[in-house]
Amino acid sequence: MSRTLITGGTVITAADELADTVLDATGKYVIPGGVDGHTHMEMPFGGTVAADTFETGTRAAAWGGTTTIVDFAIQPRGGALREGLDAWHAKAEGTCAIDYAFHMIMSDVNPSSLKEMEVLVGEGVTSFKLFMAYPGVLYSDDGQVLRAMQRGAETGGLILMHAENGIAIDVLIEQALARGETDPRYHGIVRHELLEAEATHRAIKLAQVAGAPVYIVHLSAEKALAEVAKARDEGLNAFAETCPQYLFLSSDDLARPGFEGAKYVCSTPLRPREHQAALWRGLRTDDLSVVSTDHCPFCFKPQKEMGLGDFSKIPNGLPGVEHRMDLLHQGVVEGHLSRRRWIEIACATPARMFGLYPRKGTIAPGSDADVVIYDPAARQTLSAATHHMAVDYSCYEGKEITGRVETVLSRGRVIVDGGGYRGRAGDGRFQQRATCQYLR
């Protein structure tokens, strides 16, 4: 059995900073591998399929210091949860560079799928995403949401919510297109911030009625955050994540000239830049507990171009799995976060939220040795020319940041080192998860 000794660095976990230990990575940080709780590798969506496979997407994640992802398996409409889960296991098995787990998207809440939830929880798939958006595709009505939440409360399954009022949004899309408003920037306008706030409020109230916890995914609007903060002040088990794109990008990007804005189409949409300060504040106050990527990449050519002349046909989603640790470190550099909070929101809390702690999310005896040596002083320029995601553009093209992953260990084995990838497809193992470790 081989052993790896790291010497001389500053160990940062969410709990401690242990300087002057026996570790030696002089001038570097020794941090837990990142846990990205929200990815969509090779997801079929919007008439196409997300560009990163489990192989390319997890390799890119490894390059960026993420050593575990939780991806979303999808129940086919009219089919069983089991069918969706088996299909996702088949895609991921033997291909991943890092460890992986699954949430389950429920696109058809019915007596049979509600019954299946318990079986999935028993297999370590302990969270279920519902959509208040995308009528006719992934949408659940309020009755279905309530029933799934009640079942979540019974089984220990955590409900993750895509909180946007999709019925109202579809009306606004139709009206915008009828006025000839077809450019990508209208995507941000029709997906109105109040329709995110309203859905967030409704999700929280339905969860309260069901006696269930709820976790709001990809929160982008200040008013939606206010709903989460209010619920948390009332002592409810309401949690939320945001994503780097909402912290660093804005509706100005959606309004870039020509069709460039299509590169920034995701849902919930990018908001005016004034929202960013509120999101950073929410991360500091813990009203936002986690930063995930919602990695769902579509190439500009030909995928995003499917929406030329009709913004509603642009596949929704952004690439990002490779840059979460770096962009959040940039948040440390710019004074938005402490170093420990960086590790908390990127490693420890997602691991706890999704039942992976302390195996993942920290450095401790008994934990998997998923460890990153991070150079906090290195400078890098983000670009599609150098990133490892299988997508033909970067949302952050030309952005200069401070900090860079140097070495990555997955379960004690070096998989990225000295500018090279040392792992193999299939290194990553499926992780059965416990239930959410934050319930009060």
Q: Please state the separation of Cα 34 from the chain's center in Å.
A: 12
3-class secondary structure, 303? coil
Give the nearer residue to Zn ion in terms of CB position, either 241 or 287.
241
Report the alpha-carbon distance of residue 245 to residue 242 in Å, rounded.
Answer: 8
Give the nearer residue to ligand URP in terms of CB position, either 46 or 403.
46
Q: Which residue has the tokens 């595709």?
A: 137
CA neighbor of 39 nearest in space, from 241, 192, 279, 221: 241
Residue 385: CB minimum distance to ligand URP, A: 25
3-class secondary structure, 167? helix
Give the nearer residue to ligand URP in terms of CB position, either 191 or 341.
191
Residue 265: CB minimum distance to ligand URP, A: 7
Give the nearer residue to Zn ion in terms of CB position, either 241 or 294.
294
Q: Which residue has the tokens 């990449």?
A: 297
Report the alpha-carbon distance of residue 152 to residue 134 in Å, rounded.
Answer: 22
Residue nearest to ligand URP (CB): 316
Report the alpha-carbon distance of residue 221 to residue 425 in Å, rounded.
Answer: 38
Report the alpha-carbon distance of residue 368 to residue 381 in Å, rounded.
Answer: 31
Residue 46: CB minimum distance to Zn ion, A: 12
Give the nearer residue to Zn ion in terms of CB position, either 34 or 166.
166
**With CB under 5 A as the contact rule, which of the stretches 117-125, 291-299, 333-341, 356-364 interacts with Zn ion?**
291-299
* Residue 294 near Zn ion by CB under 5 A: yes
Residues 141-200 that bind Zn ion (CB under 5 A): 162
Give the nearer residue to ligand URP in terms of CB position, either 189 or 333.
189
Residue 7: CB minimum distance to ligand URP, A: 41
User: Long-range contact list for 358-367, CB < 8 A, 24+ apart?
Assistant: 359/431, 360/32, 360/33, 360/35, 360/67, 360/68, 360/99, 360/431, 361/14, 361/32, 361/35, 362/13, 362/14, 362/15, 362/32, 363/11, 363/13, 363/30, 363/31, 363/32, 364/13, 367/32
| Per rule CB under 5 A, count of chain residues that contact Zn ion | 2
What residues make contact with ligand URP under the rule CB under 6 A?
A: 40, 162, 218, 266-267, 294, 296, 316-317
Give the nearer residue to Zn ion in terms of CB position, either 219 or 363.
219
Residue 285: CB minimum distance to ligand URP, A: 24
Residues 368-407 that bind Zn ion (CB under 5 A): none
Q: At 258, list the tokens.
A: 């020509």
266 binds, among Zn ion, ligand URP, none (CB under 5 to 8 A by kind): ligand URP
Q: What ranges in 318-359 are assigned the alpha helix state H?
A: 324-333, 339-343, 349-353
Residue 163: CB minimum distance to ligand URP, A: 10
Residue nearest to Zn ion (CB): 162
Kindly list the residues in this chain that would bind Zn ion in the complex (CB under 5 A): 162, 294
